[in-house]
Amino acid sequence: MLQNSVFAALIPVIAIIAVLILVMAAGYVKAPPDKAFIISGLRKHPRILIGRAGVKVPFFERVDMLYLGQMTVDIKTEQSVPTNDFINVNVDAVAKVRIGTNETAIQLAAKNFLNKKPEQITMDLQDSLQGNMREIIGTLALKTINTDRDSFSDQVMAKASKDMEKLGIEILSCNIQNVTDEKGLISDLGMDNTSRIKKDAAIAKAQAERDVAIAQAEADKAANDARVAAQTEIAEKNNALSIRQAELKQKADTASAVADAAYEIQQQEQQKTIQATTVNAQIAKAEREAELRQKEVVVRQQELAAQVEKAADAEKYRAEKAAEAELIQRQRQAEAEKYEKEQQAAAKRAQAEAEKYAAEQEAAGIKAKYDAEAAGIAARGKAEAESIRAKGLAEAEAMEKKAEAYRKYNGAAMAEMMIKIMPEMAAEIAKPLSQIDKINIYSTGEAGTEGSGASQISANMPIVMRQVFDTMSEATGVDFTEIMRANTYDAKVNRKVDLTGAEITVKDARDERKDGSGNGEEEN
């Protein structure tokens, strides 16, 4: 009977533990690195999660999101703004901003941009940044804005940072994209500078060409002088050589002429006889050679005529055979192409008919499948509805009986249930240690002492059990420690713990002895 009572008393404790586990599972949230999850509801200051996980209490806490990534704000002066020198200009700039990473900046940004998309945040910041840029434009001259854009953007950032810090926004950069004016003065300044640059360049080019021409003329003159001098010297030496050669040749020709004249006189006499004999022999030879050439010409003409006629016949025969072969080849190729096209057309017709038949079969199968699925879904929905209804009625009846049983529990039964469940809790807490195959403990304490590694591991179990009871007490409002101490002398005599009813009452007897109804000596 006592065991049944203890077990019945432990049922609420088990239910509470299960509820706590479900609450932790349902309230688990994990924030990415570029977003801040802000959990608010129970605490005075909300919790901030960035790139880590946390747990919220369902129904009592809520989770809101704050975007922390980089955002681009397009800053344009929608109307012309006068500069320091009273020139109306339009400026187009781009700013890179993000929400600050410190806790103060995030709290400020949460009050203004919570659950907003990046586009909405940039639209909210655009007006403020435009106003800051218009103020800086009014303090600078047009030439300064165009020639020193880095200083201009730095001033805009410095001016806007003060307003952005109040909103929790950090300005990363500000770049000036374009500067224009209504009267075209910027273009005129550019044309003036362009004309000046072109003028300086033309002058420099002319001076350079002049220097090059002078240097080229001087070089040509020096080269021509050297060439004339060299050619003159060469001509003089060639003339002297020619004169000397003529003198030597004149002397040699005179001596040779004297010798040749004497030799020639004698030779002419001998050649007269030889020439007469030679002429006669040549005449006879020439006559015979003329007759031989005439005969060779006739034979050669006959050979050429035969060769030309034979070549013409062979060429004619070859052309006729080639034409016949080409005609046959074209006919065969045309027949092959025709046959191939007919086969392709037949294959395409067969494929089209097969695809049509497959499509018809597939359509019929899909229709039958959908009809079966529709009928199955309808039957399953009806069965699920009846099951849910029966399950709800059973759960409601079980909850009523469970509530009636809870009202009958007293403190003693709850204490008995807790005592019975403690071994199981200890076993569950120690279960992770049983899964360890091997562990190395490095400790400076001696084995068996209070500070050794083994004693520290074994001492964790009661600490964990105590933390579990403390958590259950805070969640339920029931002091389980007082229930466990209910049978001690201090609880019964000094503190008067009452476990007879459904509620636990604790009253210190020493406090009663101090009131006006009696004194300590009489009660003793």
| DSSP string across 227-282 | HHHHHHHHHHHHHHHHHHHHHHHHHHHHHHHHHHHHHHHHHHHHHHHHHHHHHHHH
- Cα–Cα distance, 145 to 179 (Å, whole number): 8
Token pair listed for 26: 């349902």
Q: How far apart are the first and last CA of the chain?
A: 38
Alpha-carbon span 87 to 183, nearest angstrom:
9
Q: Please tell me the predicted confidence (pLDDT) of residue 181.
A: 82
Cα 156 to Cα 134: distance, rounded to the nearest angstrom: 9
Q: Which residues of 40-61 are buried (b: 16+ CB within 10 A; e: fewer)?
A: beeeeebbbbbeeeeebeeeeb
Write down the pLDDT at residue 326: 84
Rounded Cα–Cα distance for residues 439 and 120 (Å): 55
Contact present, 415 and 2 (Cβ < 8 Å) = no
Contacts of 449 (CB under 8 A, 6+ apart): 455
CA–CA dist 59, 439 (Å, integer):
43
In tens digits, the chain (524 residues) has pLDDT values of 556 676 677 778 787 887 777 766 777 888 898 898 988 888 888 888 888 888 887 778 888 999 999 999 998 887 888 888 888 888 989 999 999 888 889 889 988 898 899 999 999 899 889 888 888 888 888 888 877 888 888 888 888 888 899 899 999 998 888 888 877 777 666 555 666 666 777 787 778 888 888 888 888 888 888 888 888 888 888 888 888 888 888 888 887 777 777 777 777 777 877 877 787 788 888 888 888 888 888 888 788 877 877 887 778 888 888 888 888 888 888 888 888 888 888 888 888 787 777 777 777 777 777 677 767 776 776 777 777 777 777 777 776 776 566 555 555 556 566 666 666 766 666 666 666 666 666 555 554 455 555 555 566 666 766 777 676 666 556 666 666 665 555 555 555 545 444 444 444 444 444 454 444 433 33
Q: How many residues does the chain have?
A: 524
* pLDDT score of 490: 54
Q: Which amino acid is at 500?
A: T
What are the tokens at 386?
A: 């009846």
Q: Are 76 and 178 in contact (CB under 8 A)?
A: no
φ and ψ of 434, to 5 deg:
-70, -20
CA–CA dist 377, 372 (Å, integer): 9
Q: What is the pTM of this model?
A: 0.35
